[in-house]
């Protein structure tokens, strides 16, 4: 399925990955509807200042509203469902919000997809559903471990989508990106946390620095998502998107500090650590399946991606409150 000229709905389009994906789809010639979470200021999130916002139809709404999801998916070919609450620390405080948005939102999109005969739905999952690795690299058969309310809600939303594939033949793909980073990422994520603090001081407050992750630049994640939409082999499948590389948070701090020419003073903050049983110690992706099913291969190294991200943060630091711990 070629993306060009397809009518595509991106939910969560005002967010970090969603805004990049919507822009990438426009550049590829798609006709994009961008769903932004409704707010009284009519603010379009990261699309507010996008050079391409006039090339897409921006809609304010809420994925939790079943009637609206049915309405805006009419005449749509493909849906990328990125609408979600994603901050893990906040999920400890407001778990019901995650159930309402992530699980009910997925149900609404699935039901709308059935009623409006959508050609393909790409449900964006997360590597957090795997929990701490029982083996590495993590393939799609790895056990699921709900180590946070956020993780549990994403396991639930994936299951809702897959149940509609198995029960009603809804054409669904579960895309499971590992840790995406880049310009526009939320301040609560680890890379923006490190960069924004080190741009202002050598002192950095952080949580557990021994944990490891498979970091992927946002352009590579978008490339992977689009490859899943274009492939005829992916329907009904769960597919990882990652780089097959692993780096600890401590090593990450060193790379960023070298780029910024700063000698970091690391302070481990109890406030920034997850509950001990909730901490995901190790995540590294086995990306063999996506490479086999599509032409996808990540292109941007961690050093290049960090350099691009740091450059963007230098120009946009005023948008972040780096002196406040964002949950």
Residue 224 confidence (pLDDT) above 80: yes
Please give the backbone phi and psi of residue 118, each rounded to the nearest 5 degrees, phi first.
-65, 140
Element (H, E) at 115: helix 105-115
* Domain ranges within the chain, ordered by starting residue: 7-180+217-244+282-300
Q: Do the bridges between strand 265-268 and strand 215-217 make them parallel or antiparallel, or are there none, so unpaired?
A: unpaired
Q: What is the pLDDT of residue 177?
A: 98
**Cβ(322)–Cβ(197) under 8 Å?**
yes
Helix (H) or strand (E) holding 289: helix 288-293
Distance CA 177, CA 262 (A): 31
**pLDDT of 316 over the 90 cut:** yes
With a pLDDT cut of 90, the percent of the chain lying above it is 92
pTM: 0.96
Q: Would you identify the CATH topology of the domain 7-180+217-244+282-300?
A: Rossmann fold (3.40.50)
SS3 of 197-235 = HHCCCCEEEECCCCCEECEEEHHHHHHHHHHHHHCCCCC
Specify the pLDDT at position 92.
96
């Amino acid at each position: 399925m070629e993306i060009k000229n397809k009518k595509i709905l991106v939910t969560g389009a005002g967010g970090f990955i969603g805004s990049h994906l919507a822009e990438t789809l426009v550049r590829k010639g798609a006709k994009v509807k961008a769903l932004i979470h409704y707010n009284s200021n009519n603010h379009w999130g990261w699309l507010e200042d996008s050079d391409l916002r006039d090339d897409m139809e921006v809609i304010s709404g809420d994925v939790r509203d079943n009637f609206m999801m049915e309405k805006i998916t009419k005449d749509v070919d493909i849906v990328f469902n990125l609408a979600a609450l994603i901050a893990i620390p906040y999920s400890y405080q407001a778990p019901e919000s995650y159930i309402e948005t992530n699980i009910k939102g997925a149900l609404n999109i699935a039901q709308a997809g059935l009623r409006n005969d959508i050609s393909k739905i790409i449900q964006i999952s997360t590597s957090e559903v795997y929990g701490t690795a029982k083996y590495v690299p993590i393939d799609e058969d790895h056990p699921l471990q709900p180590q946070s309310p956020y993780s549990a809600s994403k396991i639930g939303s994936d299951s809702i989508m897959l149940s509609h594939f198995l029960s009603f033949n809804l054409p669904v793909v579960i895309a499971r990106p590992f840790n995406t980073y880049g310009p526009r990422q939320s301040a609560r994520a680890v890379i923006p946390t490190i960069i924004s603090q080190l741009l202002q001081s050598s002192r950095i407050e952080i949580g557990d620095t021994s944990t490891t992750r498979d970091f992927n630049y946002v352009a590579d994640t978008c490339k992977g998502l689009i490859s899943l939409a274009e492939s005829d082999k992916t329907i009904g499948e769960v597919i990882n998107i990652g780089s097959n590389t692993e780096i600890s948070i401590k090593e990450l701090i060193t790379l960023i500090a070298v780029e910024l020419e700063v000698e970091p003073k690391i302070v481990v903050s109890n406030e920034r650590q997850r509950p001990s049983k909730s901490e995901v110690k190790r995540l590294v992706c086995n990306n063999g399946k996506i490479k086999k099913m599509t032409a996808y291969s990540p292109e941007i190294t961690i050093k290049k991606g960090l350099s691009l991200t740091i450059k963007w943060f230098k120009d946009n630091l005023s948008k972040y409150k780096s002196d406040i711990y964002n949950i």
